[in-house]
Amino acid sequence: MNEQINKIKKLFLVFLRIGAFTFGGGYAMIPLIHAEIVENKKWITDEEMVDMFAIAESTPGVIAVNTATFVGYKIAGFWGSFFATLGVVLPSFFIIILISLFYQQFSSLKIMGYIFSGIRAGVVILIISAAAKLFKVCKKDAFNFIIIIAVFLLSAFLDINAVYLLLGALIIGIVYNIYINKGEMQK
């Protein structure tokens, strides 16, 4: 029982730290999530992380919340899931309340514009870093390169909703793998 409570406490504190020190949304959280749950705690593997992000991105909700829920459940069941999710959302909840209380006073300050400009630039770097880490564990074959390039071009130039791109990639991936596996089964 004590071991279970310690796991839950660790999950809560790790995801509280992730929620408190990551700005810029889910994609910007990926490097910190990876460092904490894959490299430091070794709760999941790189491959599980890629799969988890694919699932988290294709289901409703914020990627950080979906990730916390998944990892928490894997490590400590329902209560692990509950407290990991609570940990990742509490900082944002309190920050939004604080900002809403003082928004009028802060919005007119020139320094706030500078701060947000710097945060935006940092977030871009975090997203690029996350993409590079995820690419390292992605299978590098022609099929995956075609999907990566196609999804990038469609999202960048045609402004297609990410949900539709993910669903399209999912369907293409299923059809492709069924076709490949069917060919291997016939040999």
Give the tens place of pLDDT for each residue, 8-25. 999 999 999 888 876 666
> How many percent of the chain have pLDDT more than 90?
18
pTM over 0.95: no
First to last CA, the chain: 52
Give the tens place of pLDDT for each residue, 93-128. 888 888 777 767 776 777 877 877 787 777 777 778
Give the tens place of pLDDT for each residue, 32-41. 888 888 889 9
Distances, alpha carbon 34 to alpha carbons 41, 42, 53, in Å: 10, 10, 11
Residue 173 pLDDT > 90: no
Q: Give domain limits for the chain.
A: 2-138, 139-187
